[in-house]
Structure 1
Amino acid sequence: MKTDPLVLTTKLEENLLHVRAMFVDTEDLIMESLHRFNMEAYLLYIETIIEKKLVEDIIVKPMQEADLQVEKGVFPQALVEETNSIKELRKSLLQGKCILLKKDSDLAQIFNAQSFKARNITEPETEGVIRGSHEGFVESLKTNISLIRKRLHNSNLKIKYFTIGNDSHTKVGMIYLDHIANKKIVASIEEKLSDIDIDFVHAPGHIEEFLSDNFSIFPTMLSTERADRTVANLMDGRVAILTDNSPGALIAPTTFFTFYQSPDDYNSRWYFGSFIRFLRILGFLISVALPALYIAIVSFHYEILPTEIVFSIKSSLEYVPYPPLIEALGMQITLEILREASIRLPSRIGQTIGVVGGLVIGTAVVEANLVSNTMIIVVAITAISSFIVPITEMGSSIRLLGFPFMLMAAMFGLIGMSFLFMFVLIHLCKLESFGTPYFAPFSTLKWSEMKDTLIRVPIPFFKNRPKDTLPQKKKKTIK
């Protein structure tokens, strides 16, 4: 049985046949003969991922001007490396490099000529800021790392590359500050990245499910497209994971309050940042509990409301033919359908969906006595409160968490809500993100760490890094 060779030979024809065998039926593989330069050689490249003009400028033209018999030093600006490994040749061709194969030589010269198109650096649509940097990550891993290095001119910034995906061979970068990040956390993430065995990596979300040790409804890794947010988390001792062909970065470890922090909190005065932070936490409670609270009050505990409000709610519910639970579930599911439709449709049509859903459907269902006016108000406030979260993943978790609260409220009233809230609180206190308590500092009762949780104190008081990341260097230089 004939096996594929591992290294090149001195026979040019055999080497070309081996390359052809690896890329059989690949018509964008070009084997350009260089006989016109009195040289027995071939230039190999995949034309769809290289820049043809670059090949002419850095490879072909220097060959015309240089001594063609010189083996080394002919192309000092373009030559990357020399190898005799066929596996390395295949990898280089797929990365957009050019290969030069010569007669009577078992070494191949590799040249850079990539031409992967990338979009310009823009502000992420899902993470807008008022004051601060508007630069967001793009699909190029090199560009994303350059945005981080642009902000951190530090030799302790370490970058480790991994190739994940048996078929896609996707390049993944792990970034951290060596003098701050906890060594055990870095080693744990590095080990998990090395152990990933998957055919194709489409986005960081694929990697996240392999790195996370739990199946909680709450995200334990922060996903962001902002370079400034990533750098701020690196300075706190966290680790960033970036994937080629994806504009997102994964940050670990994280806490519950990490998802409620925004760059605007630190670019504005502390009292305004604290007010906005408090509104976000309040929005979390409203999104989770308000529909359930409405169901519990209407079904079991209407006596806790003033008499005037009770009469008002009763009059709006008089002609609604089903219980408040069905009413709330129907409106919440309709809202989720409208939200998903507005995301998937083109932007011009998406605005129409909002008008149709908010005005036409909302007015029609009330006039048809299918939903009460009070329920429309409750659902609207709940929806707005869920959108105040800076990170999309946490907002999705909050909306999903509201459904079991509504079921418990319909069955057991406020008592059922209380028990479920206790269960969620216990779960948050027990949950960990790479060894870090997820609900810190409340679960660890470290009151000194609460300077950046429900509110934000003035920046001169941030003299220590958060202890939840277990940083090596705890003190910050703030004078």
Structure 2
Amino acid sequence: MHRHRNNLIDQIKETFMESGDFSFKKLKNRDFMIEILFLSSLVSIEKFSESIIPYLTKLEDSLFLDYLNNIKSFQTKDFDEAVEALLNGHVGIIARNKDEIFLINMSDPIQRSIEEPKSELIVRGSHAGFVERLTTNIHLVRTLINDRNLIVHLLELGSKTTTSAAIIYRDDLVNKEILTEVKRRLSYMNMETDIVISPGFIEEFIEDDPFTVFPQILYTERPDRVKANIMDGRIAIMTEGSPAALIVPVNFFSFYQSPDDYNSRWTTATFIRLLRMVSLVIAITFPSIYIGVVSFHLEVLPYELVIPMKNAVEGIPYPPIIEAFIMELTIELIREAGIRLPTPVSQTIGIVGGLVIGDAVVKAGIVSNIMIVVVAITAISSFVVPSNELSAAVRLLRFPLMLMAATFGFFGLMFGFILILIKLCKQESFGVPYLYPVAPFRVSGLKDSIVRLPLWLMKERPQDTMAKRQIKMNWVRGWDKDEK
């Protein structure tokens, strides 16, 4: 018995002996000796010293076990389980004549305050965002969905370094086949991966098509957005150490929806959504249209614009495709520099890039002034997208369409656009059509996709989630009929 205990201590010491934050202490109790093991970087030493140690040194042998059981400790003889507990902020206690280690949770989590995500700002509504602690994020979701049918399925991801994760859904709404598929893909990833770093890591492992530019899983840092999607029958995946949730399944139009759409009047929300759809077309095709017009199709312009257009591009030494590539790559460089630099410096970079560089390249004769206008409108249109992932996809698609337009004119542009539509129609997210409700076409689904009708008309949940209960509200303006 003593040999097993000593072997357990020796194994733990050998495992952490190279770590400077590993501590091994001995305390003299009135009846026996107590050995304590912990990682000082993970444990609240002040809390442990004030609330636990004074009692450990005074307890009699007969009361020792009762005390440890009352403070919600657990005991184990398994080496791997003991090491994992120490890595999670537990303090290990081994007493005389005991062949197991008692483990008390004394973790000291570092957490920032709850604030609005900078990448998902809204005008009206909640300004709370997720933080890096999983339990806090689950608390935020449970506060918004105070219902017994909300299920939080906890699991560990990673075969070597485990990461706590949670699958959150409404049991009375979620489609069981989709839920089973989510768990199956996560289990495969768990067996084949040593470490799970972030939700983006999970996204690449479980998405249907890894070779498409279009995102198939919605990434959000907003609890209210997670709530709305769970109430529609979708599933949220969250991990420890990341202030974000992954939502599945989703469709293309989910990435163009914002919480602001439901916090403002339906007429305003519909106008904004239509504006986003127009911005999508502009962001993808506008540079290609410019290249096609200048290179092949000047006849589509009004006669009054033909001569100014020819004069603008006449002195440029490069073909329109090179001119467009120079400016588009410059915009991307400015954007990336603005993200990586501190905020005051990034604002300066934006001003320098937008004014100085733009004016200088025109005066130097490298690009035309019309090209500057085209690139500026294109960049603004790409920033209208509420989802950063879809915005990146839109910016990437711009370049192959520019090449098609430079080679075949409008015919190449239309061919490329058709290929994109075919890909969108074929793509799925966990078995759900990606372009729903356009393909397959569903009139009822249009109420909350391209447009946003009044909330009291949207009585059904989206059909693409295949929720158990499609009806989410009855006629809620009955008072209007009663008055008449």
- TM-score bracket, normalised by the shorter chain, equals over 0.9
One of 164, 169, 176 as aligned partner of 1:171: 164
One of 170, 174, 184 as aligned partner of 1:191: 184
More divergent stretch after superposition (16-25 vs 284-293): 16-25
Give the letter aligned to residue 258 of structure 1.
S
Number of the residue aligned with 1:29: 22
Contact kept in structure 2, 1:289 and 1:402, CA below 8 Å: yes
One of 116, 120, 128 as aligned partner of 1:135: 128
**Does residue 100 of structure 2 align to residue 107 of structure 1?**
yes
Q: Name the CA distance, whole Å, in 1 between partners of 2:376 and 2:112.
A: 36
One of 238, 248, 254 as aligned partner of 2:250: 254
| Structure 1 residue 110 displacement after superposition | 1.4
Number of the residue aligned with 2:480: none
What do residues 342-400 of structure 1 show as CA deviations (whole Å, max 9, x unaligned)?
11111121111101100110000000111111100000000000001111000000000
Number of the residue aligned with 1:237: 233
Q: Name the CA distance, whole Å, in 2 between partners of 1:13 and 1:315.
A: 88
Number of the residue aligned with 1:42: 35
**Does residue 360 of structure 2 align to residue 367 of structure 1?**
no
More divergent stretch after superposition (438-447 vs 152-161): 152-161
Structure 1 segment 226-375 matched on structure 2, within 5 A: 226-375=222-371
One of 447, 467, 471 as aligned partner of 2:443: 447
What do residues 194-244 of structure 1 show as CA deviations (whole Å, max 9, x unaligned)?
111212222111111110120211000001111111111111111111111
Q: Name the CA distance, whole Å, in 1 between partners of 2:70 and 2:113.
A: 26
One of 455, 461, 480 as aligned partner of 1:459: 455
Contact kept in structure 2, 1:238 and 1:469, CA below 8 Å: yes
What do residues 231-281 of structure 1 show as CA deviations (whole Å, max 9, x unaligned)?
111111111111111112111111000000000000000000111111111
Q: Which ranges in structure 1 are unaligned for 5 or more consecutive residues?
A: 1-7
Q: Name the CA distance, whole Å, in 2 between partners of 1:130 and 1:258.
A: 19
Give the letter aligned to residue 195 of structure 2.
F
Contact kept in structure 2, 1:11 and 1:105, CA below 8 Å: no
Number of the residue aligned with 2:206: 211
Contact kept in structure 2, 1:35 and 1:41, CA below 8 Å: yes
* 1:82 match: secondary structure: strand
One of 76, 91, 113 as aligned partner of 1:83: 76
Contact kept in structure 2, 1:58 and 1:75, CA below 8 Å: no
**Does residue 433 of structure 2 align to residue 437 of structure 1?**
yes
| Structure 1 residue 11 displacement after superposition | 5.2
| Structure 1 residue 63 displacement after superposition | 2.5
Contact kept in structure 2, 1:58 and 1:78, CA below 8 Å: no
One of 374, 383, 398 as aligned partner of 1:378: 374
| Structure 1 residue 75 displacement after superposition | 4.2
What do residues 392-437 of structure 1 show as CA deviations (whole Å, max 9, x unaligned)?
0000000000111111111111111111111111111110000000
Contact kept in structure 1, 2:173 and 2:232, CA below 8 Å: yes
* 2:52 match: secondary structure: helix
Q: Name the CA distance, whole Å, in 2 between partners of 1:355 and 1:206.
A: 35
* 2:469 match: secondary structure: coil
* 1:369 match: secondary structure: coil
**Does residue 41 of structure 2 align to residue 58 of structure 1?**
no
Give the letter aligned to residue 204 of structure 1.
P
Contact kept in structure 2, 1:192 and 1:211, CA below 8 Å: yes
CA RMSD of aligned residues (A): 1.5
Give the letter aligned to residue 175 of structure 2.
N
One of 159, 166, 175 as aligned partner of 1:182: 175
Contact kept in structure 2, 1:162 and 1:193, CA below 8 Å: no
More divergent stretch after superposition (304-313 vs 424-433): 304-313
Q: Name the CA distance, whole Å, in 2 between partners of 1:471 and 1:329.
A: 46
Q: Name the CA distance, whole Å, in 2 between partners of 1:304 and 1:34.
A: 89
Number of the residue aligned with 2:145: 152
**Does residue 376 of structure 2 align to residue 395 of structure 1?**
no
Q: Which ranges in structure 2 are unaligned for 5 or more consecutive residues?
A: 477-484
* 2:447 match: secondary structure: coil
| Structure 1 residue 21 displacement after superposition | 2.0
| Structure 1 residue 166 displacement after superposition | 3.0
| Structure 1 residue 64 displacement after superposition | 4.5
Q: Name the CA distance, whole Å, in 2 between partners of 1:300 and 1:350.
A: 39
Q: Name the CA distance, whole Å, in 2 between partners of 1:338 and 1:268.
A: 33
Q: Name the CA distance, whole Å, in 2 between partners of 1:412 and 1:443.
A: 28
| Structure 1 residue 36 displacement after superposition | 4.7
* 2:449 match: secondary structure: coil
Q: Name the CA distance, whole Å, in 2 between partners of 1:443 and 1:23.
A: 57
Identity %: 42
| Structure 1 residue 61 displacement after superposition | 2.5
Contact kept in structure 2, 1:317 and 1:372, CA below 8 Å: yes
Q: Name the CA distance, whole Å, in 2 between partners of 1:76 and 1:58.
A: 15
Q: Name the CA distance, whole Å, in 2 between partners of 1:103 and 1:85.
A: 18
Contact kept in structure 2, 1:12 and 1:102, CA below 8 Å: no
Q: How many residues align?
A: 472
**Does residue 402 of structure 2 align to residue 409 of structure 1?**
no
Contact kept in structure 1, 2:68 and 2:102, CA below 8 Å: no
Call closer, same or farther: CA 1:124–1:75 in 2, change over 3 Å.
same
Number of the residue aligned with 2:479: none
| Structure 1 residue 80 displacement after superposition | 3.0
Number of the residue aligned with 1:121: 114
Give the letter aligned to residue 417 of structure 2.
F
| Structure 1 residue 68 displacement after superposition | 4.5
Contact kept in structure 2, 1:431 and 1:438, CA below 8 Å: yes
| Structure 1 residue 57 displacement after superposition | 2.9
Contact kept in structure 2, 1:9 and 1:15, CA below 8 Å: no
Q: Name the CA distance, whole Å, in 2 between partners of 1:131 and 1:211.
A: 34
Contact kept in structure 1, 2:29 and 2:56, CA below 8 Å: no
| Structure 1 residue 310 displacement after superposition | 1.5
**Does residue 220 of structure 2 align to residue 220 of structure 1?**
no
Contact kept in structure 2, 1:30 and 1:47, CA below 8 Å: yes
Contact kept in structure 1, 2:29 and 2:58, CA below 8 Å: no
